[in-house]
Chain A
């Protein structure tokens, strides 16, 4: 039986307690929250979370031009490692086990220097942050992004290669089915090849809406997640159909991602689990 979270990023600017109450109402096991501890502190979250008895599975890191692990500017690289460590502290304070990591600024699609150098910077930065995470009982999850959002790690096999090079128990591979629907040739096959390295899972359909709204076949994906003996949480990271996601969310223009998808996503996946005879699914 899988455990589910919903990434509250898509709830935009609404008060956090409303989102947490929504997750509780629709039977979620965990909340997944955005890692901006200087904007909303762990204490603020704790208050709302404990009211609804809702634990946090994972912290989604936001990578901007100032948070770019492979920037040619060493000060930016150092700032990025510091940001990730801050999210590890944030996770530890909230009891979350996962912090997401992507080594480039979101929407940056070209290297600044040669790609081998950038890869080496990514490995070095990830190693330092992974050791810090491990020391705090947290694990980093290295997430490939599609070609429009990044250029360095787009597919699961690249994430596997980087995680193996980092070679630290504080980091694993992350699978996001929306990115994989664009970049990977075979989603279940890629998940199987990640095997025990699989640290975190994001679920979204081919159009980044709730599973069932597009045409991904989630049955073999669930089978692959089950077969690699994944013990982590499956979080729905659903986002609007736009190049400028931040703008849409700030403008509160994504109402279907509130109650409708929060409700339908977990229902859809539990039905698949049921059809596969996975135990204890209600």
Chain B
């Protein structure tokens, strides 16, 4: 199989720390080749331990960020923007050290800010995001790491909701190592057409997360999976496909994910059944090239 399938640590433990690295055995046992580690609390993770656990269990690590109120690279206060840039650089360091080719996530703003802004205010926020991302992108380039920016639905951010807006942000940053993470949950709310959105953003798509329309087990809801995978095949997407859902205990971005109720019989069942389904879709659409 050319596309490696991964599981997000948001399904396993939150915050995910060194103490949870033993869960990698379980993840590998379910069939996954990638674990996507979300850096909720950088102080509780060490890349040495992450790397040795990953080697032991033969998993690749993908690094993603969680963007709470103090990690906001487009905030009006330059001190908070600096904190956001520092955090992103920390994530880049983790990525470089554990062999993740990019840092992914909605890094342009604190997650959960969905305000009404005037067009000039919006432009200003966009420009701050571009400035901060340019700084981080050149640092990331020096460490041979990319940035995969994730559009979020309207209730989680007011800045980048669609792939088209994501491409606009990437173009404004204008760095070769800056692209997009696309996520079926958000696309199901915001896009008019999954296939058209994917095809027009094709050169920028670095990374893919999959989740059902209700954040439950992929394949058990309304997402148009055949259309989604057909589009990935059409653009020759060869990257990772990571299943994401959220434990109800997620703290850093709890307001944003609004996860208060179970969306599957258990998180393990979601991971197991999700892997079976996504593997079958990848085999059907992506491996026949």
Is B289 at the interface (CB under 8 A from chain A)? Answer: no
Contacting pair A242 B116 (CB below 8 A): yes
Interface residue ranges of B167-193 to A (CB < 8 Å): 188-193
The answer to whether A251 and B155 have CB atoms under 8 Å apart is no
Looking at the assembled complex, report how far the CB atom of A172 sits from the nearest CB atom of chain B, in whole angstroms.
Answer: 23
Contacts of A148 in B (CB 8 A): 155-156, 258
A residues touching B (Cβ–Cβ < 8 Å)? 109-110, 146-149, 151, 154, 181-187, 206-207, 213-215, 241-244, 247-248, 251
Apart from A147-B259, A184-B222, 6 more pairs, CB < 8 Å: A182-B214, A187-B222, A206-B188, A207-B190, A242-B116, A247-B115
Distance to closest chain B CB from A201 (angstroms):
18
Q: Is the CB of B192 within 8 A of A207?
A: yes
Q: Which 5 A-B pairs have the closest CB atoms?
A: A243-B114, A247-B116, A148-B155, A244-B116, A147-B258
- The answer to whether A207 touches B258 (Cβ under 8 A) is no
A-contact bits for B193-216, CB 8 A (1 contact / 0 none): 110000000000000000011101
Do the beta carbons of A242 and B154 come within 8 Å of each other? yes
Q: A185 near B214 (CB under 8 angstroms)?
A: yes
Majority SS at the chain B contact face: loop
Q: Please name all residues of chain B whose beta carbon is closer than 8 Å to the beta carbon of A251 when the two chains form the complex.
A: 116
Contact of B114 among A185, A186, A206, A244 (CB under 8 A): A244
Nearest A-chain residue to B161, judged by Cβ = A241
Contact of B115 among A147, A184, A244 (CB under 8 A): A244
24 contacts between A and B (CB under 8 A): A109-B260, A148-B155, A154-B261, A181-B222, A182-B189, A182-B213, A184-B214, A184-B222, A185-B220, A186-B222, A206-B188, A214-B192, A215-B191, A215-B194, A215-B224, A242-B116, A242-B158, A243-B114, A243-B115, A243-B155, A243-B158, A244-B158, A247-B115, A248-B116
Given A215-B192, A242-B158, A181 and B213 contact (CB-CB distance below 8 Å)? yes
